[in-house]
Amino acid sequence: MEKPPSDSVGIVKLQYFTFAELQLERGGRLESVTLAYETYGVLNADRSNALMVCHALSGDAHAAGYYTEDDIKGAKKNTGWWELMIGPGKALDTNKYFIICSNIIGSCYGSTGPNSIDPATGKEYGMSFPEVTIPDMVKAQKALLESFGIEKLVTVIGGSMGGMQALEWALQFPDVPKSIVIIATSAGLSAQEIALDAVGRNAIKSDPEWQNGNYPSKKELKGLAVARMVGHISYLSEEGMEKKFGRRLEDPAMAASMSDFEKQFDNNFAVEGYLAHQGKKFVERFDANSYIYVTKAMDYFDVDNKYGGGSLNKAMKKIKAEVLMVSFSSDWLFSPAQAKEIVQALTMNNKDVSYIEIESIHGHDAFLLDKKSIAENKIMGQAFKNFLIHIK
How many angstroms separate the CA atoms of 134 and 195, rounded? Answer: 19
Which of 233/391 has CB closer to a copy of itself? 233
Q: Could you tell me which stretch among 42-50, 296-304, 340-348, 371-379 binds a copy of itself (CB under 8 A)?
A: 296-304
Characterise 137 by phi-psi region: left (phi > 0), alpha (psi -120 to 50), beta (else): alpha
Rule CB under 8 A: say whether 245 interacts with a copy of itself: yes
Exposed/middle/buried for 254, CB within 10 Å: 0-12, 13-18, 19+? middle
189 to 208: interface string for a copy of itself, x by CB under 8 A: xxxx-xxx-xx-xxx-xxxx
Q: Which of 214, 259, 268, 386 binds a copy of itself (CB under 8 A)?
A: 268
Q: Could you tell me which stretch among 50-58, 163-171, 237-245, 371-379 binds a copy of itself (CB under 8 A)?
A: 237-245
Rule CB under 8 A: say whether 235 interacts with a copy of itself: no
Write the DSSP assignment of 114-156 as a string of letters.
TTSBPTTTSSB-GGGSPP--HHHHHHHHHHHHHHTT---BSEE
Residues annotated as part of the active site? 160, 331, 364
Residues 6+ apart with CB under 8 A from 223: 203, 204, 205, 206, 207, 209, 210, 288
Which of 220/352 has CB closer to a copy of itself? 220
Q: State the minimum distance, in angstroms, from the CB of residue 309 to a copy of itself.
A: 14
User: Three-state DSSP class for 108?
Assistant: coil
Q: Which of 27, 149, 217, 247 binds a copy of itself (CB under 8 A)?
A: 247
User: Three-state DSSP class for 7?
Assistant: coil
E strand map for the chain: 15-23, 29-40, 50-54, 86-87, 92-93, 98-102, 155-159, 179-183, 322-328, 353-358
Q: Could you tell me which stretch among 43-51, 52-60, 167-175, 188-196 binds a copy of itself (CB under 8 A)?
A: 188-196
Q: Which of 53, 92, 275, 325 binds a copy of itself (CB under 8 A)?
A: 275
Rule CB under 8 A: say whether 371 interacts with a copy of itself: no
The answer to whether 234 and 332 are in contact (CB under 8 A) is yes
Q: State the minimum distance, in angstroms, from the CB of residue 295 to a copy of itself.
A: 9
User: How far is Cα of residue 256 from the mean position of the Cα atoms in its chain?
Assistant: 33
**Contact positions toward a copy of itself, by CB under 8 A?**
188-192, 194-196, 198-199, 201-203, 205-208, 222-223, 225-226, 229-230, 232-233, 236, 238, 241-242, 244-247, 264-266, 268-269, 271-272, 275-276, 279, 296, 299, 302, 305, 332
